Amino acid sequence: MSLDPQTLAELHEIADRYPEKRSGLLPMLHLIQSVEGRVTPEGIEVCAQVLGISAAEVNGVATFYTMYKRRPVGDYHVGVCTNTLCAVMGGDLIFERLKEHLDVGNDETTEDGKITLEHVECNAACDYAPVMMVNWEFMDNQTPESAVQVVDDLRAGREVHSTRGPRLCTWREAERVLAGFPDDRADEGPAAGPASLAGLKIAREKGWTAPEGEK
């Protein structure tokens, strides 16, 4: 196996966090992606060995969830929500503009290896539609023009901040965080914005409270 000793040790560390080791498979796959840039056949075999399960079981999980990639991902994964609300608010236009601007199709990476573009299902941020995510950080209320500016800034190496969270890191760095290894950016966000808190504000103004459950 060519995985370095630190990665192997961290895979065991993740597995040991759980009473049932196999529960650690999801973050383990994220760790593999942070090192290999995708879920590799070797990564599948190593996860299976660490967890004492079959490679087929690991492969079944890795092919079920869209966050696990079988092809190399660029430095920045740009996901444009094209679900119903975002689509009608402009998500489809944003996605088409980015495809043309970057000269890539869905789930393809630019020649310089900087940007992987993908249309994604609901980002759970409908109050800020249309939404784009960069390495799973929110870019709210986008337009075709603002989306192009974001990817141009990223390709040029300029610092970019998510609209309600931290400065953007690379995809591999984000994958390491999803594996459970903090990057000390938690205090930079994410934070709830005014649109998400509008209902709470109205409830407080009117003195509304949630009904108590049965005791």
Q: Are residues 80 and 162 in the same domain?
A: yes
Distance, in Å, from the CA atom of 51 to the CA atom of 58, rounded to the nearest integer, reads: 9
Q: Is residue 112 part of a domain?
A: yes
Q: Is residue 12 part of a domain?
A: yes
Q: Is residue 85 part of a domain?
A: yes
Contact criterion met (CB below 8 Å) for 115 and 151: yes
Distance, in Å, from the CA atom of 137 to the CA atom of 173, rounded to the nearest integer, reads: 12
One digit per residue, pLDDT tens: the chain, 215 residues? Answer: 578 999 999 999 999 999 999 999 999 999 999 999 999 999 999 999 999 999 999 999 999 999 999 999 999 999 999 999 999 999 999 999 999 999 999 999 999 999 999 999 888 899 999 999 999 999 999 999 999 999 999 999 999 999 988 899 999 999 999 999 988 887 776 677 888 889 999 999 999 998 887 76
Structure tokens given for 86: 């975002």
Contact criterion met (CB below 8 Å) for 170 and 76: yes
* Structural domains counted in the chain: 2
Distance, in Å, from the CA atom of 76 to the CA atom of 114, rounded to the nearest integer, reads: 6
Tally of CB atoms within 10 A around 158: 10
pLDDT for 23-68, tens place per residue? 999 999 999 999 999 999 999 999 999 999 999 999 999 999 999 9
Q: Which of 148, 169, 190 is the last residue of a domain?
A: 169
Task: Return the H-helix or E-strand segment holding 80.
Answer: strand 76-81
pTM of the model: 0.88
Q: Are residues 19 and 48 in the same domain?
A: yes
Q: Is residue 9 part of a domain?
A: yes
Pick the closest to residue 46 from 63, 21, 28, 64 (CA basis): 28
CA 76, 77, 81, 82 torsion-angle sign? positive
Per-residue model confidence (pLDDT) at position 75: 97
* Residue 179 three-state SS: coil
pLDDT for 155-168, tens place per residue? 999 999 999 888 99
Per-residue model confidence (pLDDT) at position 10: 97
Q: Are residues 156 and 97 in the same domain?
A: yes
Q: Is residue 198 part of a domain?
A: no
CATH code at 107?
3.40.30.10
* Structural domain containing residue 117: 76-169
Q: Is residue 186 part of a domain?
A: no
Q: Are residues 15 and 83 in the same domain?
A: no
Q: Is residue 102 part of a domain?
A: yes
Per-residue model confidence (pLDDT) at position 131: 96
Q: Are residues 38 and 80 in the same domain?
A: no
* Alpha carbons within 13 A on the beta-carbon side of 176: 15
Q: Are residues 44 and 89 in the same domain?
A: no
Q: Are residues 53 and 102 in the same domain?
A: no
Q: Are residues 80 and 148 in the same domain?
A: yes
Q: Is residue 143 part of a domain?
A: yes
Per-residue model confidence (pLDDT) at position 188: 78
